[in-house]
Amino acid sequence: MTGTPDAPRGARAVSAADSLLEKLGVRLDPELLVLALTHRSFAHEAGGIPTNERLEFLGDTVLGLVVTEHLYRAYPDLSEGDLAKMRAATVSQRALARVARTLDLGAYLLLGKGELATGGADKDSILSDTLEALFGAVYLSHGLETARGLVDRLVSATLEAAADLGAGLDWKTSLQELSALLGLGAPTYDVTGEGPDHARTFTAHAVVGGEVRGSGTGSAKKLAEQEAAAAAYATLSAARDAAAAATGTGTAGA
211 a known binding residue?
A: no
Q: Under a CB-based contact definition with an 8 Å cutoff, are residues 219 and 129 in contact?
A: no
Contact 13, 31 (CB under 8 A): yes
Is 129 among the annotated ligand-binding positions?
yes
Contact residues for 126 (Cβ-Cβ < 8 A; gap 6+): 39, 109, 111, 115, 120
Residue 69 is labelled as binding a ligand: no
User: Alpha helix (H) ranges present in 163-220?
Assistant: 171-181
* Whether residue 60 lies in the annotated active site: yes
Tell me which of 132, 170, 225, 227 is the catalytic residue.
Answer: 132
Helices (H) then strands (E): counts for the chain: 11, 3
- Of 60, 115, 225, 227, catalytic: 60
Cβ atoms 178, 237 nearer than 8 A: yes
* Residues whose CB falls within 8 Å of the CB of residue 196, separated by 6 or more in sequence, listed in order: 118
Residue numbers annotated as active site: 60, 132
Which residues make up each annotated binding site for Mg(2+)? 56, 129, 132
Which residues make up each annotated binding site? 56, 129, 132
